[in-house]
Amino acid sequence: MSNRSYPIVIVEIAEDEGGGYVVYAPDLPGCMADGDTRAEAASAIEDAIDEWICEAQESGQIVPEPGVAAARMTKLHSSMASILKKQDELLDAKEALVNAVRKKSEELEEALAEAQQRAPDEGDAGWFHLASISKKDRNQLPH
């Protein structure tokens, strides 16, 4: 039996799938066992771990230290948290940009509405209409 203490995961199998328990050692890829009870499964994985380590050593493979899977997952979770934080920052920036564009659009619409209200009617004599000036008079306007 190995003197190392590898973490294990025990999962109950649904009765309609045969029942019992399956157990695996996350640090040792493919190392798994099963049993009718949790205790049987836990006992079976100890033998499976020993066999896995023996096979790895005989074939010249590196035997991972206990807990490497947890360390790998912690690193992965940290990376994911960093990515999610950056995504959140980008979404906040996008929202701020959309709000700024919306505000500017509303300001322009208000300015246009005010300009349209101030604009004289077609028949207002106070406004200068180029269309009503003859071609000869238009040529005499300062350019």
What tens digit of pLDDT does each residue of 2-18 get? 546 999 999 999 999 99
Q: Tell whether 141 is covered by a domain.
A: no
Q: Does one domain contain both 58 and 107?
A: no
**Integer Cα distance of 57 and 84 in angstroms:** 40
Q: Pairing relation of β-strands 21-24 and 32-35?
A: antiparallel
Q: Tell whether 2 is covered by a domain.
A: no
CA atoms within 13 A of residue 115's CA, in its CB half-sphere = 6
Range of the domain at 48: 9-66
Tokens encoding 45:
């994985």
Say how many C-beta atoms besides its own lie within 10 A of residue 53's C-beta: 19
Q: Does one domain contain both 91 and 114?
A: yes
| 54 or 75, greater pLDDT | 54
| 85 or 21, greater pLDDT | 21
**Integer Cα distance of 30 and 66 in angstroms:** 15
Q: Does one domain contain both 47 and 60?
A: yes
Q: Does one domain contain both 58 and 81?
A: no
Q: What is the pLDDT of residue 78?
A: 81
Q: Tell whether 137 is covered by a domain.
A: no
Segment 61-115, tens digit of pLDDT: 999 989 888 777 777 788 888 899 899 999 999 999 999 999 999 888 888 888 8
Which residues are paired to 22 by β-bridges?
11, 34
Segment 109-136, tens digit of pLDDT: 888 888 888 766 555 544 454 455 556 6
Q: Tell whether 113 is covered by a domain.
A: yes
pLDDT at 24 exceeding the cut of 60? yes
Sheet holding 32-35, edge to edge: 9-12, 21-24, 32-35
Q: What is the pLDDT of residue 33?
A: 97
Q: Does one domain contain both 36 and 47?
A: yes
Q: What is the pLDDT of residue 126?
A: 47
Q: What is the pLDDT of residue 1?
A: 47
Number of domains in the chain: 2
Last residue of a domain, one of 24, 47, 66: 66
Tokens encoding 57:
């050593």
